[in-house]
Amino acid sequence: MSGQDALVVFTPSGRRGRFPLGSSLLQAARSLGVDIDSVCGGRGICGRCQVLVAEGEFSKHGVTSCVDNLSPVSAVEQEYCATQPMAPGRRLSCSAQVLGDLVIDVPSSSQVHKQVVRKAAEALDIELDPLVRLHYVEVQEPDMHDPSGDLRRLEDALDFEWQLSDLSCDVLVLQQLQTALRAGAWKVTVAVHAGKQIIAVWPGFKEHVYGLAVDVGSTTIAAHLCNLASGEVVASAGVMNPQIRFGEDLMSRVSYVMMNPGGEVEMTAAVRAALNELAVDVAAQAGISPQDILEATFVGNPIMHHLLLGINPVELGGAPFALATDRAITLWAVEIDFAIHRNARIYVLPCIAGHVGADTAGVILAERPDLNDKITLLVDVGTNAEIVLGNNQRLLACSSPTGPAFEGAQISCGQRAAPGAIERVRIDPVTLEPRFKVIGSDLWSDDPGFDAAVAATGVTGVCGSGIIEALAEMYLAGIIRHDGVINGDLSARNPRIQPDGRTFSYELYRATADAPPLKVMQNDVRAIQLGKAALYAGVRLLMERMGVQTVDRIRLAGAFGSHIDVKYAMVLGMIPDCVLSEVSSAGNAAGTGARIALLDQRARGDIEALVRRVEKIETAVEPRFQEIFVEAMALPHLTDPFVELRKVVKLPERVAINNEQNARSRRGPRARAPDAAA
């Protein structure tokens, strides 16, 4: 038999078998269960099934492989090459035939279940396994001697060529099917959803369809357009959430509905209109039609989630904060008036509890703390902080009312993160003089050319990460005491410390003598104290419930997590002690979760099961939350973790801080002893 068949080994899978000479590589791969993509069903049109011959002797496999053991480049391959670029040595496995022993490499781009590499190195790659798949088929023409509907013959072809059976079919497809079949001369490409439902049909060969992963935030709506075949993000865009005109934050939007019955309908219409703009925007960027978007996934906090779906959010505005549903939702694009392909399916990740939304489900899906032995703390800071703690044993979640201070709101000099906003602050512990950086310039304020660099915008305010740094540096410099009071005694040392009514303030910046200054007021410190106490109390409550004193890793999700310098968050006691190298930003983890749910159908089952498993803690009914909150109002004693922080923040060796010393010191931080830790 060895004269008539040959050994073929596929890498990287290592699957192997003997095949009759003349077999196509694609047939051979399929019979071995080797993962090779194909849309056109082996007709040399789609180019998805490209492979390479590995040349040489592979003693492990007992094979000597060379290109001569494969049939010469065929006319079909030449035709494909003429229109599409093909890397040297690549062959279409549907066309190339086995002439002798071979080792065939299947590059990852030719695999159906390829890995989509994520940017952040520490995160897991995404396994590509989209629900929507394209299939090119040739359909039998109708025959009066054996009458049958066009749909039945299409289904017969899908069954014969793709082993897809018991399919159902949307009525829109039926409306387009007869025209498509005839326009395509009985060759069409269909999109099949979850191997069950025909949701779209195009005449002839259709190469690409797309999916949209959307994070509906209270402030901004962000969308990533992905090619469902490659998993690649082909366009991204964000728009302001137009619901802002009904209320800046979540509670004011719920209040709007309470005061204006029916107001939820306006807000639903507003967010849906913005989604349609976004879809048009990303489609235009990618040079495709919104009609080529066949799937979309959504994350958002519970109120955004409900408003997107047209559910009145008033129940979320007061105890017992009952969600309409804590299940994932699958529906049609038309049901939310989403003007992508009419049959596109929408998947909305599940909310977890009244204050812990589908955005947190997205964070969990992006970070998968349940796959790790280590105890991970996930924090997504907004007006509410959504907090998840756990590992492969348990997962707990709660929400904590941090207020908007961390986003620069309700801070006298606060502003949104935008050019002109101070985002980095350093204060000299000796002179108490500040220097800073603003968004839009890489220069520090004491660098030459700074004024020119920021001339266009000016220095307009302080953003969320800037206020954290300002307060932490003020604390490290002794300007703020352990109890949060701005130390007026220091006004003698530096005129930036100024009386303001019955308390003191610290002037960060003043453009000219006549211009209004940017000052950190005592009330600003109080707002941050309240927020950080709430955050810390939520975290601590989960730690107590879990029975742990420390966490192994901290991942900060969202815009705040991306911009904040985590050591300052630790200086202020926002987050619990942790080895600094284990504290990092998770980026827009909620949006990443939406992208994973878009690209990997199994991830949907995973997050639905995980969300059910999560132990939901309602901070509002936990007396311990109040206790910890009160304790956490003060700024922390910088004890053990400070030893490490000191290295990172590069404080003078002798500078250390604690409340007692702050309280008694009149000589400034220089005088503080390094043994102050208590």
C-beta closer to a second copy: residue 64 or 178: 178
H helix and E strand count, the chain: 18, 31
Tell whether omega for the bond before 516 is within 30 degrees of 0, i.e. cis.
Answer: no
For a second copy, which residue of 117, 124, 319, 609 counts as binding (CB under 8 A)?
A: 319
For a second copy, which residue of 113, 196, 327, 667 counts as binding (CB under 8 A)?
A: 327
- On whether the CB atoms of residues 484 and 475 are closer than 8 A, the answer is no
Angle at 330 between CA 244 and CA 296, to 5 degrees: 60
30 to 23, 35, 91: CA distances (angstroms):
11, 7, 16
Smallest gap from residue 147 Cβ to a second copy (A): 4
Distance CA 528, CA 539 (A): 16
Q: Is 203 among the residues that bind a second copy (CB under 8 A)?
A: no
- Range in contact with a second copy (rule: CB under 8 A) among 310-318, 402-410, 530-538, 539-547: 310-318
> How far is it between the farthest Cα atoms of the chain?
104
C-beta closer to a second copy: residue 297 or 588: 297
Q: Is 548 among the residues that bind a second copy (CB under 8 A)?
A: no
- Range in contact with a second copy (rule: CB under 8 A) among 45-53, 199-207, 253-261, 322-330: 322-330
Q: Is 545 among the residues that bind a second copy (CB under 8 A)?
A: no
Q: Is 150 among the residues that bind a second copy (CB under 8 A)?
A: yes
Q: Is 616 among the residues that bind a second copy (CB under 8 A)?
A: yes
- Range in contact with a second copy (rule: CB under 8 A) among 306-314, 450-458, 554-562, 624-632: 306-314
Distance CA 113, CA 132 (A): 13
Q: Is 600 among the residues that bind a second copy (CB under 8 A)?
A: no
- Range in contact with a second copy (rule: CB under 8 A) among 92-100, 346-354, 565-573, 597-605: 346-354
For a second copy, which residue of 25, 351, 405, 477 counts as binding (CB under 8 A)?
A: 351
Q: What is the secondary structure of 356-378 as a DSSP string?
A: B-HHHHHHHHHH-GGG-SS-EEE
- What single DSSP character describes residue 598? H
For a second copy, which residue of 199, 237, 311, 358 counts as binding (CB under 8 A)?
A: 311
User: Sign of dihedral through CA atoms 462, 465, 471, 472?
Assistant: negative
C-beta closer to a second copy: residue 337 or 446: 337
Q: Is 329 among the residues that bind a second copy (CB under 8 A)?
A: yes
Q: Residue for token digits 């039926």?
A: 174
Smallest gap from residue 380 Cβ to a second copy (A): 18
Q: Is 326 among the residues that bind a second copy (CB under 8 A)?
A: yes
CB atoms within 10 A of CB 69: 20
Distance CA 636, CA 658 (A): 8
C-beta closer to a second copy: residue 313 or 484: 313
Q: Is 335 among the residues that bind a second copy (CB under 8 A)?
A: yes
C-beta closer to a second copy: residue 327 or 666: 327
For a second copy, which residue of 145, 502, 650, 664 counts as binding (CB under 8 A)?
A: 145
C-beta closer to a second copy: residue 336 or 405: 336
Q: Is 513 among the residues that bind a second copy (CB under 8 A)?
A: no
Angle at 670 between CA 669 and CA 673, to 5 degrees: 85
Nearest to 594 by CA among 294, 330, 297, 221: 297
Q: Is 337 among the residues that bind a second copy (CB under 8 A)?
A: no
Q: Is 179 among the residues that bind a second copy (CB under 8 A)?
A: yes
Q: Is 322 among the residues that bind a second copy (CB under 8 A)?
A: yes
Smallest gap from residue 179 Cβ to a second copy (A): 7
Q: What is the dihedral of CA 539, 604, 309, 168, to 10 degrees?
A: -170
For a second copy, which residue of 147, 287, 495, 547 counts as binding (CB under 8 A)?
A: 147
Q: Give the amino acid at 605.
A: G
The arrangement of strands across the sheet holding 5-11 comes to 16-20, 5-11, 102-105, 50-54, 90-92
Bridge partners of residue 192, in order along the sequence: 133, 198
Distance CA 464, CA 414 (A): 7
Residue 630 half-sphere exposure toward CB, CA atoms < 13 A: 4
- Which stretch of DSSP H or E encloses residue 469? helix 464-476
Q: What is the dihedral of CA 274, 350, 134, 185, to 10 degrees?
A: -60
Q: Is 171 among the residues that bind a second copy (CB under 8 A)?
A: yes
Q: Is 667 among the residues that bind a second copy (CB under 8 A)?
A: no
- What binding mask, one character per residue, do residues 620-639 give for a second copy by CB under 8 A, x or -? xx------------------
Q: Is 309 among the residues that bind a second copy (CB under 8 A)?
A: yes
Smallest gap from residue 312 Cβ to a second copy (A): 7
Residue 322, helix vs strand vs coil: coil
For a second copy, which residue of 324, 418, 546, 580 counts as binding (CB under 8 A)?
A: 324
Distance CA 365, CA 118 (A): 13
Q: Is 364 among the residues that bind a second copy (CB under 8 A)?
A: no
C-beta closer to a second copy: residue 168 or 431: 168
C-beta closer to a second copy: residue 76 or 620: 620
C-beta closer to a second copy: residue 319 or 515: 319
Q: Report the chain's C-alpha Rg in angstroms.
A: 30
Residue numbers at the binding site for a second copy (CB under 8 A)? 141-152, 169, 171, 174-175, 177-179, 309-312, 315, 319-327, 329, 331, 335-336, 351, 353-354, 616, 618, 620-621
